[in-house]
């Protein structure tokens, strides 16, 4: 989260749960509400972290985001879906990659 805050994001919610699933982070980037899926991989044996956000997971996040927007009265807001991929490299160093607009919502 410090990574995102250093980029100017304001964290609004962590681990938002809905009947459709969980959204790891919800943040504001200017006037945009950003729904962020965080994936960490300590080994690339099963692929890179960014590759773990499947279409099925994306659909759950989008449905949970719709529920969040409805509950907050923010249905007409500008939104984006990002992935924050953290790959732990040999030796413990981390490679952090933010994919803005990693997948599209319903708009």
Output the CA torsion sign for 46, 89, 97, 84.
Answer: positive
Task: Look at residue 47 and tell me whether its pLDDT is greater than 60.
Answer: yes
- Of 26-30, 32-36, 99-103, where does mean pLDDT reach its minimum? 99-103
Reported as a pLDDT band with limits 50, 70 and 90, residue 107 is very low
Distance CA 41, CA 78 (A): 30
Sequence spans of domains, the chain: 2-103
> Which tokens hold the place of 61?
């996040």
37, 31 Cβ separation under 8 angstroms: no
pLDDT at 13: 96
Residue 66 DSSP SS3? helix
Using alpha carbons only, what angle is made at residue 26 by residues 3 and 86, rounded to the nearest 5 degrees? 40
Fold assignment, 2-103: Trna Endonuclease; Chain: A, domain 1 (3.40.1350)
**Average pLDDT over every residue of 13-39:** 96
Task: Look at residue 45 and tell me whether its pLDDT is greater than 80.
Answer: no
Longest CA span, the chain? 46
Residue 53, phi then psi, degrees to nearest 5? -90, 90
Kind of pairing between the strands at 21-29 and 10-18: antiparallel
Task: Look at residue 79 and tell me whether its pLDDT is greater than 90.
Answer: yes
């Amino acid at each position: 989260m410090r990574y995102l805050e250093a980029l100017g994001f304001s964290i609004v919610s962590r681990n938002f749960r809905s009947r459709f699933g969980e959204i790891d982070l919800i943040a504001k980037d200017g006037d945009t509400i950003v729904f962020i899926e965080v994936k960490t991989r300590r080994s690339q044996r099963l692929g890179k972290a960014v590759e773990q956000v499947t279409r099925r997971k994306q659909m759950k996040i989008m449905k949970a985001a719709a529920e969040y927007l409805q509950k907050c009265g923010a249905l007409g807001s500008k939104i984006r879906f990002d992935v924050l991929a953290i790959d732990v490299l040999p030796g413990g160093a981390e490679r952090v990659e933010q994919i803005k607009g990693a997948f599209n919502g319903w708009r």
